[in-house]
Amino acid sequence: MFESAKAVNKVAKTNFRTVDEYIAAQPMAAQTKLQRVRATIHKALPEAEETISYQMPAYKQRGKIVLYFAGWKEHYSLYPAGQRFVDVFGDELALCTLSKGTLRFSLSEPVPVRLIKQIAQFRAKEAAERASSRPTNKTNT
């Protein structure tokens, strides 16, 4: 427990300004995978703005973050994820572990490009649906 808390503190103290900086700071084994994940998200969401949020790469559409990714010693992750992912992607999620809002992918496996593309597009669609269902504060005068 002490080591993982130490690792979290190390990341929290880092102030990444770009996704390039973030990826360069990750374990060497993760860097190639993260570049592939990044390229896949860019292809899936060409209009998205790439940023750093909570010290992780994130992608915004219409000002709202739709997807994050992060690298770790033995896996990389996509956030947020939930029960709707299981409902929509079902057996395709056998390639990863889903827990507490996180999809974890092993660094020892090939990057599931098709699945990550679908996940990115799914999250963007969810965000757009939430935005369009919110009432506006405009009043008719």
Asked if 93 contacts 85 with a C-beta cutoff of 8 angstroms, the reply is yes
> CA geometry: angle at 86 spanning 84 and 87, to 5°?
60
Going by C-alpha positions, the residue among 38, 71, 36 that lies closest to residue 56 is 71
Strand order from edge to edge, sheet including 102-106: 49-53, 56-61, 64-71, 75-79, 102-106, 96-99
pLDDT, position 12: 46
pLDDT, position 46: 95
| C-alpha to C-alpha distance for 59 and 68, rounded to whole angstroms | 6
pLDDT, position 5: 41
Map out the domains of the chain with their CATH numbers.
13-131 (3.90.1150.200)
pLDDT, position 50: 96
Q: What is the mean pLDDT of each run of 10 residues along the chain (141 residues)?
A: 41 78 92 97 96 96 93 93 85 87 93 95 88 64 47
**pTM for the whole thing?**
0.81
